[in-house]
Structure 1
Amino acid sequence: MARWIESWLPGASPGVGGPHPGERLGLPATGVSSVAGLGRRVAALAVDWLLGYGIAALLTGPGALGDPSLGWYVLGIWYLLTAVPVAVFGASAGMVALGIRVASVDTSAVIGVPRALLRTAMIALVLPPLARDEDGRGWHDRATRTVVVRTRA
């Protein structure tokens, strides 16, 4: 992959560019089935988190904001709202809203329950999704052999 420094080094060709994210996985550079960008992924996570927050607030009642364990309720509900649909359908509600889904890098149609549980647990730890490789995959995707792709252009 070309590095930024190659653009000004003497003798560097003018159109130096490396492979696009997902090329090593056989994915297109743009459009449907291309690797989803970080912005869409974060927005989908925010939608799912807000849904979890709303459901937790409804379940805990009128004093929800004063409840010190509200954060744990939100985390548990978010975990279920994310892991179960990703295991069964390949996408959570936030992912569907933003036009992305989790795809397996092997031949599986969906990633299944064990990989979805591990993937979601690693997202809850925050750091694994932030450490990304050249294909835009975080540690949670690499550990579960998955990639997040776009479902619409």
Structure 2
Amino acid sequence: MDKRQAVGSWLSGPRAAAEDMGVDFGHRGKRLGLPEEGPGAIAPTGRRLGAIFVDWGLCFLIANAFFGDGAPQTTANIAVGVLFVVNALAVGTVGFTPGKRLFKLRVVSVDGGRLGFGRVLLRTVLLCLALPALIWDRDGRGLHDRFAKAVQVRL
């Protein structure tokens, strides 16, 4: 085996190189004991992105309608605060935000139960920082979900 095959190319990434060498990672969520498809499976990336765009849109509308003074920076800062409140309350009580409900997703603990209040707050703070939500593990969970021991699943 040549070195290029063992390392893979920069286009395929380390996962593809490992799979070429015979390493089987299984489906996303296998390590967490989640099914490959259907209810309870890891939420697809497209649905998660759609849900956050819907939530952001609603938060910007709320911020602009009730608190906006016309300055885009002020409205954006208030929208982050609204996003924090909506996520903390909605995920902490019913397990989903309006966007997640629309896209048929739910946030649950990795052990299958509901998230506790502290873990919901940690997840929400990290989500509002945005960077942890943009870094994913091989199961497709953002750092905000990993730190809070949470996972987004299909309904």
TM-score normalised by structure 1 residue count: 0.83
Q: How does 1:3-152 map to 2 (within 5 A)?
A: 3-5=15-17, 17-60=24-67, 64-66=69-71, 68-108=73-113, 110-151=114-155
Tell me by how many angstroms 1:5 deviates.
2.9
Summarize the Cα distance change of 1:106–1:7 in structure 2 as closer, same or farther, 3 Å threshold. closer
CA distance in 2, matches of 1:146, 1:78: 18
Tell me by how many angstroms 1:88 deviates.
0.8
Tell me by how many angstroms 1:18 deviates.
2.8
Summarize the Cα distance change of 1:123–1:7 in structure 2 as closer, same or farther, 3 Å threshold. closer
Summarize the Cα distance change of 1:103–1:7 in structure 2 as closer, same or farther, 3 Å threshold. closer
Instruction: State the SS of the aligned residue for 2:152.
Output: strand
Aligned Cα RMSD in Å? 2.1
Summarize the Cα distance change of 1:38–1:67 in structure 2 as closer, same or farther, 3 Å threshold. closer
Alignment length, in residue pairs? 142
Q: CA contact under 8 A between 1:87 and 1:112: conserved in structure 2?
A: yes
CA distance in 2, matches of 1:67, 1:50: 14
CA distance in 2, matches of 1:139, 1:6: 23
Q: Note the residue ranges of structure 1 that are not aligned, 5 or more in a row.
A: none
Instruction: State the SS of the aligned residue for 2:70.
Output: helix
CA distance in 1, matches of 2:19, 2:77: 48
Q: Note the residue ranges of structure 2 that are not aligned, 5 or more in a row.
A: 1-13
Q: CA contact under 8 A between 2:83 and 2:128: conserved in structure 1?
A: no
C-alpha distance after superposition, 1:32-78 (max 9, x if no partner) = 110001111111111111111111111136xx433642111111111
Higher helix share: 2
Summarize the Cα distance change of 1:149–1:7 in structure 2 as closer, same or farther, 3 Å threshold. closer
Q: CA contact under 8 A between 1:84 and 1:113: conserved in structure 2?
A: no
